[in-house]
Structure 1
Amino acid sequence: MAPRRIVLALLTLISLVQIVITQTGIDLKNLYDELMNKRKYQKVTPPYESLKEAITVRVAFHLHGINSLDDVEGKLATTAHLTLEWQDAFLTWNRKDFSNISYIYMPQNEVWKPDVSLNNGFTKLKELGDDVIQVTVMNTGKVIWNPMEVFETKCDINITKFPFDTQVCKLIFRLWTLQPQDVKFKLNEPVTLHLDTYEENSVWDLHSANIVLENGNFIVLLSLNRRPEYYLLTLICPIILLSLLDIFTFVIPVDSGEKMGYSMTAYLAFAVFLTIIRSSLPINSRTTSYLAVFVVSLLVKGTAIVVVTAVQVRLHHRRNDKDLPRCLRHFIRFSRWIRACFTTRVKPQTDNVNNQESNIDVHNSQHLPASKKESSKLPLDERSEDEEEEKNDMYTWANACAALDGFFFCFFFVAAFFMTIIFFCGISLNTASLY
């Protein structure tokens, strides 16, 4: 009985023991020798399973970041890598024959790979990846290639809505030599575009990204929105403030002697600021930005203000013996009517006193001789003559210039207001039409 129990115990232990096969470097060496030497693998031979079927290359795009977008050169620089997968019929093995090895790594230049290249690259044509990049080969023949690059591509820049513009750039990948009947692209479902490792750019915001297959090419579409906060604070706000500053030229009276000097100072300040911000404006002759048109319009307004101010100073010192044109007389009357509407007059409380004095004068005038009565009418005649002289003195060149100050202040203020509104409304309408 004892030997039987010992045998049963040994059998139980043997059944519990699991045989573990240890993978060593020798196994990898044998597998590599089997694939490359014994089978005489040739990387120049396309790994067709059947010559009647094209090799399907599944593609996916991993975007890591937007490096820069040059407005002048029209160059987009992005950091990304591709994931390319295909079946290689010559790189398969049985896992049981090689210590259960399911995959190996091989340099990308030692296996066959599709001649994928960037079609709209900004530099010379070259193959993707680098010598340090390796491919993953599965025992089923599946090959996974992840070439990483800093892609520099051409991008058609439209600066019409600068700095609220949206640029749509393309990365076009194509098979340079292989024909569609030999090798074809297919999107690697369910996720084709990966943004897990994407890092935001300080100037450009990634609005949307998409991948399409078109004419056998693999195209990545990137929609980029420019961040306008910097340009609003350093560009647009100072321009608007300087455009309002030169309008207050018409608040300064001509007699102060500073009117012409102030207008020239405001105009030169605007011109000097334009030379400073010139480097911030994108250079592009194919499209014209609304901001450039807005700045030129404000510059024309400032030039008109300087010209009008010079003419006003000239007219102010004109002799009064020359009659005023009828239009200037209308301006003077209109300006006085406006002042009367917005000016509150305080009526003196002397009506009772004046009535009493007038009653006394009338009562006394009844007892005065005719000569005295005629003499009492002289002050009234003199008053009417003074009113006529005052009326004539109202139509002077100095008063005409003062009336024109109010008119031009309102005119140029309204012009600057509408130019600003048109600029922002035009940008907002065109931006909204994109979405």
Structure 2
Amino acid sequence: MNAVNNLYNELFIKRAYNRYVTPIYQKSSGEWQCKFDGVDNIFVASEALWIPDTQIGNARTLDSVKAEAVKVVQIFSNGTVYFPVFYYAEVACPIIINTFPFDKQICPIMVMSLAFDASHAKVIARGVLKTDERDDHGNGEWDVTNITTINVNQGGSEYIGYVLSIRRVPNFYVYVIALPCFILTALSVVGMFWTPNIKKEQLVKLTIGLTSLVSMTVLLDMLSDAIPKTSVFPLLGIYVVVCVGITSISSVIITLHCLPNPKMKEEKLPTKCKLSEPVVKPDLLLKLNETI
């Protein structure tokens, strides 16, 4: 413990370190460890150090996670300072929705210093995820497939970027929009053309098609809320419009083309035969009486 206190006094008191002016003075690793009984690193409050203002440059929203907590930095014997910073950031990325919801996007996250140029602050990208670690990263809607880094030096300023390759998980859109749309279209077409379109059943068949169209408007409303408003029409939108078109054409065919009602066949009633009583003439009766 005394070695740590001596090291702290050496770094921040004896040298009259000013955190507003310069970074911490670096000493060689061997000299530090020998002089302070092999102490490799110490922890100090972040307020005691000069910390560059590196942050995410293309973030729409940038909030520090647990900003009220005490921030601690770790100083190593070779002069390296480890200062983890956690942010919640919303980054605006260019998006291509031609194959939505089976689309893949590339989203760069740029890290830069707003106050210092390349001669005062050098930014280096490290800590890229390994291939076997990327399966655990995502939010249920997106899967991270790859992460690469880029270094850009522009206008005397140097900044880095983490380029995220992400793939959309299409399960929600398939089960909630695509599959119900297919079922409604198939049932409406089968229901309208299963039997001959006679005039007596025309209104019933037309009701099936119109009901399916009304149901598809709910799916269209869900689709319009799910996709961004761009000039490119997505694949799922084309699919839903085709389903609506098939049902609409079927309804028009039912309306314009119908068969006349079949004529009722007259049933022949069976004839009833009555047995008539024998008629005996009077003169025949007289002859019979005389004979007797």
Please name the residue that 2:107 is paired with. 169
Q: Is the 8 A contact 1:109 1:131 kept in 2?
A: no
Is residue 2:83 matched to residue 1:145?
yes
The amino acid across from 1:220 in the alignment is Y
Q: CA deviation at 1:116?
A: 0.3
Please name the residue that 1:379 is paired with. none
Please name the residue that 1:193 is paired with. 128
Change (3 A) 1:128 1:41: farther
Please name the residue that 2:15 is paired with. 39
Q: Is the 8 A contact 2:209 2:251 kept in 1?
A: no
Relative to the length of structure 2, the TM-score reads 0.74
Q: CA deviation at 1:127?
A: 11
Q: Is the 8 A contact 2:59 2:89 kept in 1?
A: yes
Counterpart Cα distance in 1 of 2:61 and 2:89? 9
Q: Equivalent of 1:236, from 149, 173, 178?
A: 178
Cα RMSD for the two superposed structures: 2.9
Please name the residue that 1:267 is paired with. 210
Q: CA deviation at 1:141?
A: 1.7
> How far does the alpha carbon of each residue in 1:249-272 deviate from its partner, in whole angstroms, 9 at most, with x for none?
233223372233223223322422
Is residue 2:257 matched to residue 1:312?
yes
Relative to the length of structure 1, the TM-score reads 0.51
Q: Is the 8 A contact 1:41 1:90 kept in 2?
A: no
Please name the residue that 1:156 is paired with. 94
Q: CA deviation at 1:306?
A: 1.6
For the residue of structure 2 that corresponds to 1:183, the secondary structure is coil
Q: CA deviation at 1:245?
A: 2.5
Counterpart Cα distance in 2 of 1:181 and 1:225? 38
For the residue of structure 1 that corresponds to 2:59, the secondary structure is coil
> How far does the alpha carbon of each residue in 1:382-415 deviate from its partner, in whole angstroms, 9 at most, with x for none?
xxxxxxxxxxxxxxxxxxxxxxxxxxxxxxxxxx
Please name the residue that 1:414 is paired with. none
> How far does the alpha carbon of each residue in 1:70-125 deviate from its partner, in whole angstroms, 9 at most, with x for none?
xxxxxxxxxxxxxxxxxx43577633333332210112232122210111112258
Q: Is the 8 A contact 2:106 2:164 kept in 1?
A: yes
Q: CA deviation at 1:280?
A: 4.9
Q: Is the 8 A contact 2:33 2:39 kept in 1?
A: yes
Query: What pairs up with 1:31-430 in 2 under 5 angstroms?
Result: 31-47=7-23, 88-89=24-25, 94-123=32-61, 132-188=70-126, 192-195=127-130, 196=133, 198-215=136-153, 216-248=158-190, 249-255=192-198, 257-276=200-219, 278-281=221-224, 282-286=226-230, 287-313=232-258, 316=260
Counterpart Cα distance in 2 of 1:296 and 1:199? 34
Q: Is the 8 A contact 1:108 1:133 kept in 2?
A: yes
Change (3 A) 1:165 1:266: same
> How far does the alpha carbon of each residue in 1:227-266 deviate from its partner, in whole angstroms, 9 at most, with x for none?
2233323321221222223333233223372233223223
For the residue of structure 2 that corresponds to 1:271, the secondary structure is helix
For the residue of structure 1 that corresponds to 2:97, the secondary structure is coil
Counterpart Cα distance in 1 of 2:124 and 2:67? 20
The amino acid across from 1:288 in the alignment is F
Q: CA deviation at 1:128?
A: 11
Q: Is the 8 A contact 1:163 1:228 kept in 2?
A: yes
Change (3 A) 1:151 1:124: closer
Counterpart Cα distance in 1 of 2:106 and 2:228? 16
Change (3 A) 1:255 1:143: closer
Counterpart Cα distance in 2 of 1:128 and 1:220? 23
Q: CA deviation at 1:298?
A: 2.4
Q: CA deviation at 1:151?
A: 2.7
Range that drifts further, 265-274 or 103-112 = 265-274
Q: Is the 8 A contact 2:108 2:162 kept in 1?
A: yes
Calculate percent identity across the aligned residue pairs.
21
Q: Is the 8 A contact 2:145 2:165 kept in 1?
A: yes
Q: Is the 8 A contact 1:117 1:125 kept in 2?
A: no
Q: Is the 8 A contact 1:245 1:266 kept in 2?
A: no
For the residue of structure 2 that corresponds to 1:184, the secondary structure is coil
Which structure's residues are more often helix, by fraction?
A: 1
Counterpart Cα distance in 1 of 2:44 and 2:68? 13
* Count of residue pairs the alignment pairs up: 249
Counterpart Cα distance in 2 of 1:134 and 1:177? 23
Change (3 A) 1:256 1:125: closer
